Amino acid sequence: MKYVAVSDLYIQKEVFEECLAAYPDINYKIIHFGSDDRNTMREIFHTVERNGPKAWPAPEELYEAIEDADVLMVHTCPIPGELIRRGKKLRAILTCRGGLENIDVETATELNIPIINNPAHNSNSVAELAVGLMIDETRNISRSHMSLKQHQWREIFNNSGNIWELKRKTVGIVGFGNIGHLVAEKLNAFGCKLLVNDIRIDPEDEMLARLPIRVTDLPTLMKESDIVTLHARSEDLILSREMLSLMKPTAFFINTARAHMVDYNALYELLRDHRIMGAALEVHPTEPLPDDYPFLQLDNVTLTTHRGGDTINAFIDSPPMIMEDYQRYLAGKKPRFFANSEVGMGR
């Protein structure tokens, strides 16, 4: 079998080589996509993410290489329908990402080509950051650091007199997918009480029986949690003004998911008026931040630069993960992630 892999700034050629070399029965070719400048590459990918696989040209070399390829492995490279149609022998598309914005899923499905993606590639990275932000915000780590850098010894904070450990605190996890599961696992080690809400929750999920987790409705979670952390994946607004207003005055909000799922105007007002204790935001409606971003004026919020999934592990672990999943598919077993499962099994 011939594999064609497309490397980029994030998943380098050497990573694909190491992964594919572990399978001696396949031949492979590796093509590079995009820029090696981080800022340029970010703009390229944001263009593709917003406008689809036709928004940026794929490498010309790929159009020739795909003609006799059995499997295509990609990360950020755009894969438009015309490219997929050139792959007359193409049996599968494996993508190291969770999102599918750079792939013409409709054409692949029409041609009965399965797409195996990897939403879990950066799950642990984001889960670790979420827990880190909980500690950072509740214990004023970043604020202490900034005051010392400014030659000030600061001991009074917005939550002075109400600083507590994670132990025995209630954390509400909104969205119980890959990241939500990992956050629950990590917080259990801290001795937290865990509330979970997800519209697609599996009642047979073994973690629900193994950990002290209570599944509940969203309003109850918002009312009872000392920390609310968002890990859903949706195009819709999930945490409206009404939902955010249910939080306790001593509660904290953490967002490492997406900004559009939260009413940020309402969140700003709740923080400004001290109707909730604090927040940590990894994602923002506009990135990079505009100068007039209102959260910059608040002393009870920690801001980071949307790099939660940007770890070495998140990138180098992904090709082996999707290869393992594809081997499951070839053996007639269901992959962990199947972007167009309507194609069917056992191809």
pLDDT digits (tens, 9 = 90+) for 90-125: 999 999 998 899 999 999 999 999 999 998 999 999
Q: Where are the domains of the chain?
A: 2-121+311-343, 123-303
Q: Per the residue annotation, which of 97, 121, 143, 306 is the catalytic one?
A: 306
Report pLDDT for 264.
Answer: 98
Residue 195 φ then ψ, to 5°: -110, 145
What single letter denotes the amino acid at residue 49? E
pTM: 0.85
In CATH, which superfamily holds the domain spanning 2-121+311-343? NAD(P)-binding Rossmann-like Domain (3.40.50.720)
Show Cβ contacts of residue 30 under 8 Å, excluding neighbours closer than 6 positions. Answer: 4, 5, 6, 7, 13, 16, 17
Cα Rg, the chain, nearest whole Å: 22
Catalytic pick from 75, 97, 121, 258?
258
Look up tokens 């079998």; give the residue: 1
Residues of the chain with pLDDT under 70: 344-347
Output the six-digit token pair for 55: 């928004």
* Angstrom distance (rounded) from CA 310 to CA 312: 7
Closest of 173, 174, 139, 176 to residue 157, by C-alpha: 139
Strand order, beta sheet including 92-95: 27-32, 2-7, 71-74, 92-95, 115-116
What are the Cα distances from residue 270, in Å, to 5, 246, 275, 280?
Answer: 47, 11, 5, 13
CATH numeric code, 123-303: 3.40.50.720
Q: Is 188 exposed, middle or buried (0-12, 13-18, 19+ CB in 10 A)?
A: middle
Type of residue at 308 = G
Q: What is the pLDDT of residue 206?
A: 95
The residue with tokens 């599918």 is: 100
Is 258 a known active-site residue?
A: yes
50 is catalytic: no
| Catalytic (active site) residue 306 | yes
Please identify which of the residues 82, 242, 287, 324 carries the catalytic annotation.
287
* Cis upstream peptide for 288 (omega within 30°): yes
Q: What is the pLDDT of residue 341?
A: 77
Q: What's residue 345's pLDDT? A: 60
According to DSSP, residue 259 is labeled: G
> Which pLDDT score, from 0 to 100, does residue 7 have?
98
**Are the beta carbons of 261 and 230 closer than 8 angstroms?**
yes
Is the fold of 2-121+311-343 the same as that of 123-303? Answer: yes
